[in-house]
Chains A and B, each alone.
Chain A
Amino acid sequence: GQSLEQPSEVTAVEGAIVQINCTYQTSGFYGLSWYQQHDGGAPTFLSYNALDGLEETGRFSSFLSRSDSYGYLLLQELQMKDSASYFCAVRDGHTGRRALTFGSGTRLQVQP
């Protein structure tokens, strides 16, 4: 089966940089995804890493190390609107690569 671990909560100040870590265990690995969810809203896709290294999209970057079964999401120049929950996810090998298993989420609080 699949399991993912990420911190439950992270607090940072506006303008700072924050890193949200994710470690995973999977029966077959096809990539690590990150989603953002604001309170009361639906998750939205942020990034996807299939290969080792860093993927950058504006203020957000995502890193993957397949040998360590580890990834992180890096948020730079934090803004108040970045306060949300962030989920890492891997493809579910049991369902033939067609579904995702999500971590429990990291709640990010950005303070002024």
Chain B
Amino acid sequence: SQTIHQWPATLVQPVGSPLSLECTVEGTSNPNLYWYRQAAGRGLQLLFYSVGIGQISSEVPQNLSASRPQDRQFILSSKKLLLSDSGFYLCAWKVDTYVADTQYFGPGTRLTVL
């Protein structure tokens, strides 16, 4: 069966500090991978998606970046965090087919920037 991991679960960082969030998927090959951010009480905002190693598409220009160094590893980074980067970061995967829209989400990382 497939499993998706995210870490850390919770993070408190000062403004201006760097960020690295990691997501790994087990039990599937060549998944589409996604990073979403969710502000408190709001919907999910797509940040990045990837259809393969080294292939990253950015949806919202900001101070965040993403990388996919391995097939089942997706990393979200920042060189200098802003207060507005606080939120719930969710990684998700999906089999790359046109059938249905089932995305499977990881447990998320709750980031607070102070």
Contact = CB atoms under 8 A, between A and B. Distances in A.
Interface of A: 30-31, 33, 41-45, 48, 50, 87, 89, 91-92, 95, 97-105, 107
B42 A99 contact: no
B105 A48 contact: no
A95 B57 contact: yes
A42 B96 contact: no
B49 A48 contact: no
Contact of B101 (A42, A91, A95, A105): A91
Interface of B: 32, 34, 41-44, 46, 49, 51, 57, 59, 90, 94, 96, 98, 100-108
B103 A45 contact: yes
B100 to A, nearest CB: 5
B51 A43 contact: no
Given A31-B100, A48-B100, A99-B34, A42 B105 contact: yes
B103 to A, nearest CB: 6
Contacts of B94: 98
Nearest to B107: A42
A33 B106 CA distance: 18
Nearest to B42: A104
24 contacts: A30-B101, A31-B101, A33-B102, A42-B108, A43-B90, A43-B103, A45-B103, A45-B104, A87-B43, A89-B101, A91-B101, A95-B46, A95-B57, A97-B98, A98-B94, A99-B46, A100-B44, A100-B46, A100-B103, A101-B46, A102-B43, A102-B44, A104-B42, A105-B42
